Amino acid sequence: MNTIAVVGAGTMGNGIAQVASEAGYNVLLCDINEKGLNNGLNRIEKTLRRNVEKEKIDQSTADAIRNRITATLHIEDVKEADVVIEAIIEKIEPKKELFSKLDQVCKPSAIFASNTSGLSVTEMAGAVSRSSQVIGTHFFNPVPVMPLVEVVRGEQTSDETFETAHRLVKEFNKTAISVEDAPLFAVNRILVPMINEAIFVLGEGVASAEDIDEGMKLGASHPIGPLALADLIGLDTTLLVIETLYTETNDSKYRPAPLLKKYVRAGRLGRKTGEGFYSYR
């Protein structure tokens, strides 16, 4: 494999593109929105500059990483990619539509991987003629820093695709855990209800946001509090993930906290809008 395409240049997509390039791959970073694509490239360049300043890499290495990344607004340009990793909005229908388009554009041997944080890999695979070549590769935010990737096996995923995904994750200098296709997989199945419960605690006035987060950091040894983590993830994304778990399991214990819905409706989405459970302005 020589070329990896990443579709979606947002927070997750640009991070995946960076680690793929750091592993020595030629990378195609694709997005339908020019502003979003430029923002993704700027984020990569900012991260590389910071790594040079901290002497983690030298300037020539940073330049080589950036030069292996090619940006495009046209999905047809990924036709020769060996692996395509989608990192678009966390909704099942847009992901299925994208995979259907990729199925027509890409070479028959190409593997399709989804960065979904909890949607059905099996259902996505049903949208293409190469269902055995579809797999989940759930990276964690921020991608260049976080060491974990959940490799999620759909019902139709072949052993060869599964092994290739594991090898790729290792080349990205990440650690893979193997997960069967299920709502929210393993990590988020445990983590997201905790975040949701923290929002319930805040909404009920049990404790302030600062005290909830301080309590979980000092009392449970978490590196970041659940509310600050929700702000980092994005409250809109957090809500989508919780709603997925609630819908898929039909279990009332997973119902989204009303305060979370309220903040999303108000446009308070966390760090990316400057306001969430905390202010970042």
Residue type present at position 2: N
Q: Which residue out of 120, 138, 196, 275 is catalytically annotated?
A: 138
Q: Which residue out of 21, 150, 196, 275 is catalytically annotated?
A: 150
3-state secondary structure labels for all residues of the chain: CCEEEEECCCHHHHHHHHHHHHCCCEEEEECCCHHHHHHHHHHHHHHHHHHHHCCCCCHHHHHHHHHCEEEECCHHHHCCCCEEEECCCCCHHHHHHHHHHHHHHCCCCCEEEECCCCCCHHHHHCCCCCHHHEEEEEECCCCCCCCEEEEEECCCCCHHHHHHHHHHHHHCCCEEEEEECCCCCCHHHHHHHHHHHHHHHHHCCCCCHHHHHHHHHHHHCCCCCHHHHHHHHCHHHHHHHHHHHHHHHCCHHHCCCHHHHHHHHCCCCEHHHCECCCECC
Say whether 42 is catalytic: no
Q: Do residues 201 and 207 lie in contact, with contact meaning Cβ atoms separated by under 8 Å?
A: yes
Q: Which residue out of 14, 117, 120, 131 is catalytically annotated?
A: 117
Q: Which residue out of 14, 115, 188, 196 is catalytically annotated?
A: 188
Give the β-pairing of 134-139 and 148-153. antiparallel
Say whether 80 is catalytic: no
Say whether 33 is catalytic: no
Say whether 117 is catalytic: yes
Kindly list the catalytic residues. Answer: 117, 138, 150, 188
